[in-house]
Amino acid sequence: MRKDNTIWYESNRYSVPIGTYDRTDKEVAVRVTEDNRLIIYEEDSGHILAEHTLCLHRKGELIRNNNHGRDRTKGVQAYVDHVVQRFTDASEARRYLEEIRKQKPRYIRDQLQAIEKSVTVAGTKAADQALAYCLKNSLYRAADFADAVSHYKDKAQQQAVEKPTQSDLKLLVQVDAAKLKAKPQIREFKTYERILGGG
CB contact set of 123 (below 8 Å; sequence gap of 6+): 153
Higher per-residue pLDDT: 100 or 156: 100
pLDDT at 160: 74
pLDDT at 60: 87
What is the percent of the chain with per-residue pLDDT over 70, rounded to a whole number? 88
What is the percent of the chain with per-residue pLDDT over 90, rounded to a whole number? 28
Distance CA 96, CA 124 (A): 16
Predicted model pTM: 0.48
∠ CA 168-169-171 to the nearest 5 degrees? 145
For the cut 80, the answer to whether the pLDDT of residue 199 exceeds it is no
Highest mean pLDDT, choosing among 61-75, 87-101, 178-192? 87-101
For the cut 80, the answer to whether the pLDDT of residue 16 exceeds it is yes
In terms of C-beta density within 10 A (0-12 exposed, 13-18 middle, 19 or more buried), how is residue 149 classed?
Answer: buried
Higher per-residue pLDDT: 186 or 112: 112
pLDDT at 94: 94
